Amino acid sequence: MSQRVIFLVDMQSFYASVEKADHPAYRDKPVIVSGDPARRSGVVLAACPLAKKRGVKNALRLWEAQQLCPDAVIVRPRMQRYLDVSVQISSILARYTDMVEPYSVDEQFMDVTGSRRLFGEPREIAAQIQRDIMEETGVYARCGIGPNKVLAKMACDHFAKKNKTGIFELDHHHLKTHLWPLPVGRMFGVGSRMEQHLKRLGIYTIGALACFPLSVLKKRWGIGGQVLWETANGIDESPVSKESHVGQKAIGHAMTLPRDYADFEHEIKVALLELCEEVCFRARTSGVMGACVSVGCQGADYAHPSGFHRQMTLLAPTNGTMDVYRAACRLFLSFWDGNPVRRISVGLSRLSRDDIRQLDLFENREGERKIGYAVDRIKQKYGSGAVIRAVSLLDAGQALERAKKIGGHYK
């Protein structure tokens, strides 16, 4: 059996690249894509290479980025446009293989093992993909190549992005020379907290992790320890699959509030209802119900973190907004300390199909269900702001503003 050939195709400074492609006047200027500063989201979402050379990084606050690069063109994000280009790029990749798995809006895995006879060697295929994406979208793509997804990802992140060709191949023969000398914090799957835990064990490089006793890692972190060890050794058997995001186990939604909410009746309940509406809309769209409701919140004082995340089991599975809302309110009141909150989340889990339901002799749940689906069809046709609850017109309501956005950013 021949070795797999996996690509991780990544778009350079994706949002900024799309803006430059759409606006030729920006071509030789530093471009920064940033959220709306007026609504507490003034952070850098993307910076083009010219801006990055001046020290601008993603997640930097906009005013700091402007100090580093005062002549930068500041562009508010257009999420719908970025999604459209991402779908266009997916269609380009699909010309080379039917095994394409989106990893994020600007990264996609490809399995081209069976495509080599048609399109040539891996580097040839990668170069042709780069040309196709550039010619058709104006976006520059980098490509990491490996025998599995983990090595393809790290080949792209650590080497292809710094390579003049934008292409790099990493296999098991080059782990010791290329991957193992890197700091352990740069390994795929290692965050800042895990990095500190590993350093306490004397593990400072990926190579040190690869050679560390597996039994000790498993004793400390269970299956997670084994995954860390396998990643460091370039082991990953997971397939590239178009079905990777199918069969979700939970549906959740969170909202960062525009200001501190402290009044339960007139502020927090409005936010909870809007979140329940969004969660249940997504559940009905997916054809599922949930038997477990979860609620979480974070306090407004970031210097002294506070909040909670709790869940409760319902008497019967549901995707009805008011059923979930009533449970969410009970949960919130049970665990809220009364202090102002700045972020609230609602989730629905233990999902099951919504075409098999327990009938209720005392309540007209079928009528409520039909109303919910009828409203969903209106929203799907005319947009999420076409039908909103009256409470969303209050000062605390965010539904109309959120209807203008995708992923928290304006369309």
Instruction: Convert the pLDDT of each residue in 225-254 to its tens digit.
Output: 999 999 999 999 999 987 655 556 788 888
Q: pLDDT tens-digit profile of 261-273?
A: 999 999 999 999 9
d(CA 286, CA 292): 17
* Per-residue pLDDT, 345: 93
Could you tell me if residue 333 is inside a domain? yes
Q: Is 289 helix (H, G, I), strand (E, B) or coil?
A: strand
Q: What average pLDDT does this structure show over 189-194?
A: 90
Q: Which pLDDT score is estimated for 247? A: 54
Per-residue pLDDT at 182: 96
Q: Is 354 annotated as a binding residue?
A: no
Do 273 and 400 share a domain, yes or no?
yes
| Contact yes or no for 347/331 (Cβ under 8 A) | no
pLDDT at residue number 24 = 93
pLDDT for 358: 64
pLDDT band at 303 (very low <50, low <70, confident <90, very high): low
Q: What does DSSP assign to residue 386?
A: S
410 CB-contact burial (10 Å; exposed 0-12 / middle 13-18 / buried 19+):
middle
The answer to the question of whether 10 is labelled as a binding residue is yes
User: In this predicted model, what pLDDT tens digit does every residue of 122-140 receive, in sequence order?
Assistant: 999 999 999 999 999 999 9
**pLDDT grade for 386, boundaries at 50, 70 and 90:** confident
Q: Indicate whether 58 belongs to any domain.
A: yes
Whether residues 320 and 228 fall in one domain: no
Residue 254 and residue 375 share a domain:
yes
Measure the CA angle with vertex 100, ends 99 and 103; round to 5°: 140
Most confident of 44-48, 202-206, 319-323: 202-206
Decide the pairing of beta strands 307-318 and 107-111.
unpaired
Environment class of residue 334 by beta-carbon count within 10 Å: exposed (0-12), middle (13-18) or buried (19+)? exposed
Average pLDDT over residues 142-156: 96
Alpha-carbon torsion (277, 282, 285, 287), positive or negative: negative
**Predicted pLDDT of residue 333:** 94
Q: Is 107 considered catalytic here?
A: yes
DSSP for 180-229? TTSBGGGSTT--HHHHHHHHHTT--BHHHHHTS-HHHHHHHHTHHHHHHH
Last residue of a domain, one of 198, 232, 266: 232
pLDDT digits (tens, 9 = 90+) for 178-191: 999 999 999 998 98
- Boundaries of domain holding 293: 250-410
Q: Which of 116-120, 247-251, 362-366, 374-378 has the highest mean pLDDT?
A: 116-120
* pLDDT score of 40: 43
User: Do both 69 and 202 map to the same domain?
Assistant: no
**Residue 1: inside a domain:** no
CATH, residue 222: 1.10.150.20
Q: What is the pTM of this model?
A: 0.70
Instruction: Give a yes or no: residue 115 inside a domain.
Output: no
Give the C-alpha separation, 234 to 4, whole Å.
13
> Please, which pLDDT band fits residue 257 given cuts at 50, 70 and 90?
confident
pLDDT digits (tens, 9 = 90+) for 87-105: 999 999 999 999 999 998 8
Per the model's pLDDT, the better-predicted residue between 226 and 362 turns out to be 226
Catalytic residue chosen out of the listed positions 107, 267, 274, 277: 107
Tokens, residue 34: 């940033």
* Residue 369, C-beta contacts closer than 8 angstroms, at least 6 positions apart: 319, 320
Are 281 and 330 in a shared domain? yes
The alpha-helical segments, DSSP class H, found in 341-392 are 365-382
User: Averaged over 45-65, what is the pLDDT?
Assistant: 91
Residue that has been written with the tokens 């295929």 in this structure? 125
d(CA 319, CA 289) in angstroms, rounded, equals 5
Average pLDDT over residues 32-54: 80
Q: Say yes or no to pLDDT of 120 above 90.
A: yes
Residue 370 is predicted with a pLDDT of: 77
Compute the average pLDDT of residues 329-343.
92
Query: How many domains is the chain partitioned into structurally?
Result: 3
Same domain, 51 and 196: no
Q: Which of 54, 79, 104 is the last residue of a domain?
A: 79
**CA nearest neighbour of 20 among 60, 73, 97, 58:** 73
User: Residue 57's domain is classified under what CATH number?
Assistant: 3.40.1170.60
